[in-house]
Each structure stands twice: as C-alpha cells, then as structure tokens.
Amino acid sequence: MTSEADLLLRQGISQYQTGEFELALQSWQQALNLYRSSQNFKREGAALGNLGAAYQALGNIPQAIVCFQQHLEIAQKTQDATGEMNALANIGNAYLASAEYVRAIEYWQKLLAIVPAQGDRLQEGQILNSLRQAYTSLGELTQASKYQQQQLAIARELLNSAIATDFVSSLEAIGLDPTQDLVGADLSQFDLRNASLSRANLEGANLSGADLTLADLSRANLSGACLVRAKLSNANLRDANLSHADLSDADLRAILPRVNLSSANLSRTNLSSAYLQNANLQGANLNDTLLQQADLNGVNFSHANLNAANLTRAELNQVKVETTRFVNVVGISAQMKLEFQQQGAIFEDSMGDRQPIST
C-alpha cells in the first residue's frame, strides 16, 4: 500500500511540474488516502502539503490553507521539524497570495522563531525577505527596514563563508534585488570590490568606509548616499547619480563621465587623474579636493566652491564656471584665471577679498 502511495505521490509531482494541476490533485488525494489507511503520518503530511500546493495553483486559497494547516498539525505531533517549517512557510505564502499580510506575518514569525536552530542562514534570510515584503505592503517601513538590515547582515555572512561568489549573488540568494531593495541600506564598511551594481538604487544608503574598488556602479542612483572615506578607485560610475552625496575623504579616482555630483560634498576627496568629462558639479563643495591631472573637460562647475583645491595639470576645456568660487586654488594659470573671470567665476585671495570680474 505504501509503495503504491509513493508511486502516486511521485506521479503527482510530475503532473504538477508540467502544469497538470487537476491531475496532480487527484494523484495526491489518492496517495493521501492510502497513507492514512497505513497510518504513515510523515508521508500523510507530505501529501497534504502537496495537495495544498495544487489547490493554491488552481486558485483555491482557502482549501490550500486547510491542507497546509493539517500538515502543520501532523508535523508538530510527530516532531517533524522540516515538515513544520514547510507547513508554516506554505501557510504564510498562501496568506500573502490573498493579500492577508497580517496573517502571513503571524506564520512567518513562527517560522523565524524555529529556523535559527536549524543553522540555515540562507533560509533565514529568505524568511526575513518575506517579512520585509509583507511589512512594506502594510506601509510599515520602519519594521521593513529592520528586516532589511538583518538580511544584509546575512548577505555579508554568505559572502564571507563563500556560499555566494559575490555580493550581488548573496543578495539575490535571500531575495534582495539591488536595483530596488537597497534604498537607505546600511552598507558601511562592506567589502564590495568588483560588485556588479549597475543601475542599483542606493539612494540614501550608508556606504561610509565601504570598499567599492573596481565596482560597476554605472547608472546607479546614489543620490544622498553617505560615501565618507569610501574606496572607489577604478570604479565605473558612468552616468551615475551622486547628487547631494557625501564623498568627503573618499578615493574617487574613478571613471565618471556624465556623473551627477551636483551639490555633493567632495571635501578632501581624491579625484586625481579621474575621468570626469561632462560631469555635473553644480553647487558641489570641493574644499581641499585633489583634481590634479583629472579630465574635467565639459564639466559644469557653476555655483561650486573650490577652496584650496588642486587643479595642477587638469584638463579644463569648455567648463562652466558661473559664480564658481576659486579660493587659494592651485594649478590655475593667469590666463585661465582671466578666462574664468570673464565667464563669471569669482576668485578670492587668502584674506577673502573678492577680485573684480573683468568685462
């Protein structure tokens, strides 16, 4: 009888995988009846879990939950930890599918309470992802952010333990999408060397002290991000948005064509030999910034503040300098100073006295 039931169970799995949900339902119902007759409780629970999946695939969520609940009761009675976790996850997912987020959270919280004892950090990260999504759907963003931070901690562990080959794969393994799930994330001190974060949304993220050497951040949104003391040497920031970002003391010797650095804080930032063609630095703070030998052709410096910046041998063709403040700047020739003044730049000596603009 058990062998016949096992055959029906496997048959149902094949049918389910090919989208024959009604046939799978019939096979699993027959298997369930046989397991009950032989009092094979563990297999009965498995059949109930599969039946619930079939009902859910057919759109019958209430009946699916009934099956999952019965599976949960059997797993708890037989002390089947794996079955209990599967049943709790299935119930949570079923409630999520019917947009009953509070009920989904109830079961995922129960699951989260027992998973750490199994030592499966990957599964724990996936549960945290489900909780984060549910709280986001409820508009409880503070609670969602709490679970996001726990996910990020697990992503770091996965990366350090070589379970994941890179940061992005460790994020994806636990359900995080770098293009939309890293807004405001705390990634301070993270090792993100060579990370593939093109088009990632890192708006308002904390990346202070992070190592982003050789990372691909092309077209990424880093608006308002904190990158204090971050390492971005040879990173690709082509077309990235770093408006209002804090890059003070950062190593930004990177590829930055058309980057948006408007109103960014670049105090003491190292941009030596950086490639900044046609970048937007309107209103940026460039106090003590190292820009020697940088390619600054076509850069918009309008309203920026260059106090004690080093522009030695920098390329400065066709730059915009309307009301740009140059105070004790190194590397500006007399001819270039005159040209900039004619375009509206403001030069001040060490005492802060403005020099008249030539007309």
pLDDT at 70 over 60: yes
pLDDT value for 166: 75
Q: Is 322 exposed, middle or buried (0-12, 13-18, 19+ CB in 10 A)?
A: middle
Write out pLDDT tens, residues 266-307. Answer: 999 999 999 999 999 999 999 999 999 999 999 999 999 999
pLDDT at 172 over 80: yes
Can you tell me the distance from the alpha carbon of 152 to that of 134, in angstroms, rounded to the nearest whole number?
A: 17
Pair 266, 285: CB distance under 8 Å: yes
Count Cα neighbours of 247 within 13 Å in the Cβ-side half-sphere. 34
Of 10-24, 168-182, 190-204, 250-264, where does mean pLDDT reach its minimum? 168-182
Mean pLDDT confidence for 101-110 = 96
pLDDT at 354 over 50: no
- Give the pLDDT band (50/70/90) at residue 162: low
Write out pLDDT tens, residues 1-37. Answer: 568 988 999 999 999 999 999 999 999 999 999 999 9
pLDDT value for 350: 52
pLDDT at 357 over 50: no
- Give the pLDDT band (50/70/90) at residue 356: very low
pLDDT at 358 over 70: no
Output the CA–CA distances (angstroms, integers) from residue 276 to 6, 15, 32, 42, 293, in the order listed: 66, 58, 67, 64, 11
Q: What percent of the chain has pLDDT over 90?
A: 77
Mean pLDDT confidence for 65-78 = 95
Can you tell me the distance from the alpha carbon of 147 to that of 352, in angstroms, rounded to the nearest whole number?
A: 50
pLDDT at 208 over 50: yes
Mean pLDDT confidence for 208-234 = 97
pLDDT at 340 over 50: yes
Q: Pull the structure tokens for residue 259.
A: 């980057």
Write out pLDDT tens, residues 121-144. Answer: 888 999 999 999 999 999 999 999
Q: Is 124 helix (H, G, I), strand (E, B) or coil?
A: helix
Residue (of 258, 257, 261) closest to 274 by Cα position: 257
- Measured over all CA atoms, what is the biggest interatomic distance in the chain, rounded to whole angstroms? 101
Can you tell me the distance from the alpha carbon of 305 to that of 299, in angstroms, rounded to the nearest whole number?
A: 14
pLDDT at 160 over 80: no
Domains of the chain are 4-114 (1.25.40.10)
Q: Pull the structure tokens for residue 336.
A: 């270039």
The 8-class DSSP code of residue 117 comes to: G
Pair 50, 13: CB distance under 8 Å: yes
Query: Tokens 């995080």 identify what position?
Result: 176
Sorted by sequence, the CB contacts under 8 Å of residue 190 that are 6+ apart come out as 156, 167, 207, 210, 211
Pair 43, 2: CB distance under 8 Å: yes
- Give the pLDDT band (50/70/90) at residue 117: confident
Pair 210, 228: CB distance under 8 Å: no
**Alpha carbon 352 to chain centroid, angstroms:** 44
Mean pLDDT confidence for 184-205 = 92
Mean pLDDT of the chain: 91
pLDDT value for 328: 94
pLDDT at 235 over 70: yes
The 8-class DSSP code of residue 348 comes to: E
pLDDT at 87 over 60: yes
